[in-house]
Amino acid sequence: MTLYSRLQKRNNSSKVLNNRDFLKRLSHTKFDLNEEILDEKGYVFLVEVSGDSMINIGINSGDKVLVNSNYPISNESIVVGALNGKPFVKRIIFKDDKTILRSENEDYEDIRVTDLDEFSIWGVVRNLIRDC
């Protein structure tokens, strides 16, 4: 079932006549994005990016990334997390027994995560929102 049809069901409407009518109904409809996107566990959230470490893949300072905490993390995923208390947005690389955080800007070196680091991944970046 699509988000569109779920909103119709919640509004007890069998038919939306036009975009203006749909947008008017949508603006009065409250829904939980977590409920619409996720299964039973996990959540989605927005993180505002600060810095230029990911500019080569189009993630700029001031952009907001949509993060899914329930999405499977795979090699080369773009992830949001924290390393030694500092939040980050990086590409994660699993190579041999190593975990590497890679920026998408040649001005930054790779960061190798060690057993001495306090390291957590909050979720995988699934989309980008940029103000016009």
Q: Which domains does the chain have, with CATH numbers?
A: 3-31 (no CATH), 44-129 (2.10.109.10)
As a whole number of angstroms, the distance between CA 43 and CA 62 comes to 22
**DSSP 3-state assignment of 15?**
coil
Q: Max alpha carbon distance in the chain (Å)?
A: 60
For the beta carbon of residue 128, count every other beta carbon within 10 angstroms: 16
Per-residue pLDDT of the chain (132 residues; tens, 9 = 90+): 344 444 444 444 444 445 555 555 555 566 566 665 555 567 888 999 999 999 999 999 999 999 988 889 999 999 999 999 999 999 999 999 999 999 999 999 999 999 999 999 999 999 899 987
pTM of the predicted structure, to 2 decimals: 0.71
Residue 110 has phi, psi (to 5 degrees) of: -60, 150
Residues annotated as catalytic are 53, 90
Residue 48 has phi, psi (to 5 degrees) of: -85, 130
